[in-house]
């Protein structure tokens, strides 16, 4: 795939730019870099001085994995019979992974507005907390839900602060 407006090296790698399809007429930003080198450097410098941000990102990843595990746990314990528990136990986390990858991941194929991304994250992460509740652990579900909510609030606050930086 070619890069539109990106500075690319001889081997085709592009730095500090989002890869875009130059033949896509629906992309109004084609021809302009998504991130300049100065913006990327400023962002890296801001991140280097904020170990709490990195810790929050690690926590977010662990919460995502926890939600997937909880959905699988619920699925295996909710079904009856020989096949249904396997379908729920494997299918529920798989559906959550596919939704996350398509709509909420940093390199998602479908770019939703922020509200849409937050809705997908709320469904998957909230579903994980509800799954813990569903297997009979209401206190653990409440703790998981609260930690997830605080983590999301901190991530959003940091994102907004980065947007306000010149």
Per-residue pLDDT of the chain (166 residues; tens, 9 = 90+): 334 444 444 434 444 334 444 444 454 444 444 556 666 666 666 665 578 888 899 999 999 999 999 999 999 998 788 899 999 999 999 999 999 999 999 888 999 998 899 999 999 999 999 999 999 999 999 999 999 999 998 888 877 777 766 5
pLDDT recorded at residue 52? 81
Which residues on adjacent β-strands are paired with residue 14? 8
pTM of the model: 0.68
Non-local (6+) Cβ contacts of 149 within 8 A are none
State both tokens at 22. Answer: 């130059």
pLDDT recorded at residue 46? 61
Which of 145, 130, 148, 121 has the alpha carbon at shortest distance from 70?
A: 130
Helix H segments across 49-136?
Answer: 51-78, 84-99, 114-134
């Amino acid at each position: 795939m070619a890069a539109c407006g990106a500075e690319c090296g001889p081997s085709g790698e592009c730095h500090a730019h989002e890869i875009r399809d130059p033949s896509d007429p629906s992309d109004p930003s084609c021809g302009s870099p998504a991130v300049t080198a100065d913006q990327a450097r400023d962002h890296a410098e801001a991140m280097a001085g904020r170990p709490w941000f990195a810790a929050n990102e690690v926590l977010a990843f662990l919460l995502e994995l926890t939600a997937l595990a909880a959905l699988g746990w619920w699925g295996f314990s909710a079904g009856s019979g020989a096949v249904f528990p396997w379908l729920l136990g494997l299918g529920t986390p798989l559906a959550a992974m596919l939704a996350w990858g398509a709509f909420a991941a940093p390199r998602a194929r479908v770019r939703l507005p922020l509200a849409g991304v937050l809705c997908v994250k709320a469904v998957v992460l909230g579903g994980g907390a509800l799954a813990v509740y569903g297997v009979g652990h209401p206190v653990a579900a409440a703790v998981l839900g609260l930690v997830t909510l605080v983590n999301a609030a901190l991530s959003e606050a940091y994102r907004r602060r980065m947007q306000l930086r010149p």
